[in-house]
């Protein structure tokens, strides 16, 4: 499936790795990154709106969708640093040396790392319904870890998680599409089928992405925290209110990383760009005006 009205291209970013990228519009550039277990299609509504007055680039992340899925050789192949470098290289190849960046879920972690590593390139940052990796692991302790069981499953050494997921991939990936959505109609059957097909075909790379969050990604965040590094660009965060289920101070955690922070609690499910695209579009336009 494709986003209506967008052109598509494969853009080389790192050696033999190329990303599938949807492009439309003209004006200041913004890049939109998807999360798990999805593809660039999550942005189909928001991207079409923003393309009225922005150059909008919507890639499949490395390891997802129609982008390349290299084997993980050293634990770094799917680090958020590597995946963030992909996005910077993609934008540069398309003629953009600086751009705004928004990400959802896994894409927000990639966006966060890209913004930390390339502060002169990322002009604005938006993160949808996620905590930075280091904080995520701090929150998901004890019995609260059961909520994020997939984080622990896919953090295991290569072999077991891939085999377990491959035994019932539609059940596994579909579980999250169902559990995390408050409005089932937001993901129509054809889009859901596209997500499940893409995920079935990307099990090793999806697991490698998650495994990196328990190892190298956490180490990168720890190094930045120890060095006192923070995000200098305007930052907007849209986040669910988990209430007593996950009792953490989302605003406080994000403020440790971002001085210029706008934090908004949302009432939709996890897939906010599909459940309430107008909320996301409004927040992104306000961010870009800062």
How far is residue 218 CA from its own chain's centroid? 16
Closest by Cα among 104, 57, 97, 76 to 17:
76
Q: Say if residues 97 and 121 touch (Cβ distance below 8 Å).
A: yes
Kindly name the residue from 66, 85, 105, 135 that is annotated as catalytic.
105
CA 25, CA 36: separation in Å to the nearest integer? 26
Active site residue 105: yes
By CB atoms closer than 10 A (0-12, 13-18, 19+), residue 235 is buried
Which parts of the chain are beta strand (E)? 7-14, 17-24, 29-33, 55-59, 99-104, 122-128, 235-240, 261-266
Q: How many CB atoms lie within 10 A of CB 202?
A: 24
Three-state DSSP class for residue 36: coil
Helix 80-93 to helix 203-213 angle (10° resolution) is: 110
CA 40, CA 265: separation in Å to the nearest integer? 24
CA 269, CA 239: separation in Å to the nearest integer? 10
Q: How many CB atoms lie within 10 A of CB 75?
A: 13
Kindly name the residue from 104, 150, 220, 270 that is annotated as catalytic.
270
Residue 281 has which token pair? 């579009």
Which residues does residue 10 pair with via DSSP β-bridges, in sequence order? 20
Catalytic (active-site) positions:
105, 270
């Amino acid at each position: 499936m494709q986003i209506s009205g967008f052109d598509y291209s494969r853009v080389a970013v790192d050696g033999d790795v190329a990303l599938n990228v949807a492009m439309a519009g003209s004006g200041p550039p913004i890049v939109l990154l998807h999360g798990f277990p999805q593809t660039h299609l999550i942005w189909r509504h928001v991207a079409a709106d923003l393309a009225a007055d922005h150059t909008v680039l919507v890639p499949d992340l490395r390891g997802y969708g129609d982008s390349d899925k290299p084997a993980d050789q050293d634990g770094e192949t799917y680090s958020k640093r590597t995946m963030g470098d992909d996005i910077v290289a993609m934008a540069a190849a398309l003629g953009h040396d600086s751009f705004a960046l928004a990400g959802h879920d896994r894409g927000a972690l990639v966006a966060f790392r890209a913004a930390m590593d390339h502060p002169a390139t990322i002009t604005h940052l938006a993160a949808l319904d996620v905590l930075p990796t280091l904080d995520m692991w701090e929150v998901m302790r004890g019995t609260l870890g059961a909520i994020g069981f997939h984080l622990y499953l896919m953090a295991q050494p290569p072999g077991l998680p891939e085999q377990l997921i491959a035994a019932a991939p539609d059940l596994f990936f579909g579980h999250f599409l169902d559990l995390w959505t408050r409005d089932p109609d937001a993901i129509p059957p054809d889009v859901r089928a596209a997500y499940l097909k893409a995920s079935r075909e990307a099990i090793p790379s999806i697991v490698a992405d998650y495994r990196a969050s328990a190892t190298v990604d956490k180490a990168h965040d720890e190094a930045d925290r120890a060095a006192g590094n923070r995000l200098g660009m305007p930052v907007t965060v849209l986040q669910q209110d988990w209430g007593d289920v996950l009792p953490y101070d989302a605003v406080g955690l994000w403020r440790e990383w971002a001085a210029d922070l706008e934090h908004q609690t949302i009432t939709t499910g996890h897939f906010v760009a599909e459940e309430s695209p107008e909320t996301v579009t409004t927040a992104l336009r306000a961010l870009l005006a800062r």
